[in-house]
Amino acid sequence: MPDIAGMPQEGQGNPLVLTPFRNLPQALLAARAKVGGKAEALEDPERTPLTFDRLVLGALVLGRQLSAFAPKGGRVGLLLPNVNGMAVSLFGLWFEGRVPVMLNFTAGLKNLRSACRTAELTTVITSRRFIDTAKLDEVVAGLGEICRIVYLEDVRKTIGTREKLIGLARSLVAGLVARGATAGADDPAVVLFTSGSEGEPKGVVLSHRNLIANAQQIFAFGQDIFDKSETIFNPLPTFHSFGLTAGTLFGLLAGFKIVFYPSPLHYKQVPKLVGETKATLLFGTDTFLQGYVRAAAPGDLDSVKLVVTGAEKVKDETRRLWSGLKAAIVEGYGCTECAPVIACNHPGNNIHGSVGPALPGIAWRLEKVEGIEEGGRLHVKGDNVMLGYMFASEPGKLQPCRDGWHDTGDIVAIGGQGEILIRGRAKRFAKIGGEMVSLAAIEAMASSLWPEATHVAVTIPDPKKGEQIVLVTDRPDADRAALLAHGRAEGASELFIPRAILVVGSVPVLGSGKVDYVGSAELAKTMRSMI
């Protein structure tokens, strides 16, 4: 491989020997055996905890009823929020060898219908209470035109004494039930859809091995800071891989308790429930963390010892706001295709400005990108790397990874301690005056001048130069002249100064917490055309 500015070209996280499990139900049963069936596994805003025994029993009972909606190995859509019933449904389908397709209820009807067609779904499981609360009646009506809609409330009505007794009997031989659920660890376990932050969403097919491996990689990386009584607070939706693996499966398979909350956007309610449940670990994004700490009452966040962030860079302002609390904020990095965590900082070696080193068991290599001097395009390989994609152009067909390597599409550099330094998405570079300009670098420069605001740099068509850079920001008094002066003071080229700054009430954000780059670019095009 070509040398990239004298940096390492390839490397690997610490070695990791995975605990072999055939599937996720087996891994759950092992966690139950470790901590005991009476230990609490799940809690949600209803404040009625489920023990590991009740989670397994509920999954065996409900899963048997849900299995009627697809053959073994078949896919079933789940349109559910972060509540106990979602996790019971998820494991219920896994115990029966079905493949849940996690549907993003914030994506809109068009994208949801596309996802259903891509995954060739015939049935979607949801909840009347959720649909009413979230005001998704029109969305469900639209999905009902192409899929059968099944409500959990109706399914529960079919569960009588006979079904409960069968479930109880099966729970006594749960290990045998779990063993028969799949042919092997490389069977598909779930289909997730990319957020669409940079284009049309596509299906990502993850195996049981992928999800178990990533949960074990996370635990191995931080095992010296975890204890057996951890309580994880997870407000991140499980239709996003961060919420599914890091926020849910990692904790459950380690024997921890998970506290679900159905929306990360409830800035007042989340800190209050964190305090009431004495949560010790919190998962979120920079945007959400700022909202929580600003809305928290004294004492709400005192129990939190570790905050793990992803999806967007942690701002200095966020760290400042949290500095009076004992919680350490560590920034990680991943992508849906990697189940998702690739790298993370450790509280004992928290290198700000980086996303930490690769997790144990993950190999990486850099490939040179023309026009970019520092860094290369990151490719990764490991047991957590997906089985492959599922595209709308070929519904239901798995397009496997080539040689097991995944091209992340991210341009990164490698620091002196092996830490990964994100330079930006390959797609998030603009060619201005013959030079490659990082949109992420422009956002970082704007954040250093206006740290309390959210900024996103986008490119829009330019009739003379092909494209121009525009900064979309929620800073009310943002001014190009001020940014230009700040950039000059920092020694930045004028190529890094956006052609225009557009002030908006709020920067578009996806349900996963990521900035919506496509929405921001469309907003910028519309606003520029009106000027």
Q: The domain spanning residue 491 has which CATH number?
A: 3.30.300.30
How do 281-284 and 306-309 pair as beta strands?
Answer: parallel
Three-class SS state of 3: coil
Rounded to 5 degrees, φ, ψ at 150 are -120, 125
Report the range of poorest mean pLDDT among 24-28, 73-77, 182-186.
182-186
Are residue 336 and residue 452 in the same domain, yes or no?
no
Q: What is the pTM of this model?
A: 0.81
208: CATH: 3.40.50.12780
Are residue 409 and residue 437 in the same domain, yes or no?
no
CA distance 464 to 255: 59
**Burial zone of 349 (CB within 10 Å; 0-12 exposed, 13-18 middle, 19+ buried):** exposed
Residue with tokens 């779904």: 121
CA distance 130 to 449: 41
pLDDT of residue 434: 47
Judge whether residue 495 has pLDDT over 90.
no
Average pLDDT (45-60) is: 94
Token couple for 61 = 């009972």
CA distance 45 to 263: 11
Judge whether residue 480 has pLDDT over 90.
no
Q: Is 34 within a domain?
A: yes
CA 62 and chain centroid, separation: 26
- The helix (run of H) or strand (run of E) holding residue 453 is none
CA distance 155 to 157: 5
Range of 407's domain? 12-414
Q: Is 2 within a domain?
A: no
Are residue 460 and residue 403 in the same domain, yes or no?
no
Q: Kindly state the DSSP code that residue 242 receives in the 8-state scheme.
A: I
CA distance 32 to 39: 8
pLDDT tier for residue 317 given thresholds of 50, 70 and 90: confident
CA distance 381 to 376: 16
Are residue 18 and residue 93 in the same domain, yes or no?
yes
Q: Is the peptide bond before 340 cis (omega within 30 degrees of 0)?
A: yes
pLDDT of residue 1: 42
Token couple for 504 = 């908006």
CA distance 121 to 193: 14
Are residue 345 and residue 464 in the same domain, yes or no?
no
Asked which of 385, 414, 443 is the last residue of a domain, the reply is 414
- Split into its structural domains, the chain has a count of 2
Q: Is 86 within a domain?
A: yes
Q: Is 425 within a domain?
A: no
Q: Is 428 within a domain?
A: no
Judge whether residue 456 has pLDDT over 50.
yes
Query: Is the C-alpha dihedral spanning 9, 18, 93, 189 positive or negative?
Result: positive
CA distance 214 to 120: 27
Are residue 256 and residue 212 in the same domain, yes or no?
yes
pLDDT of residue 195: 61
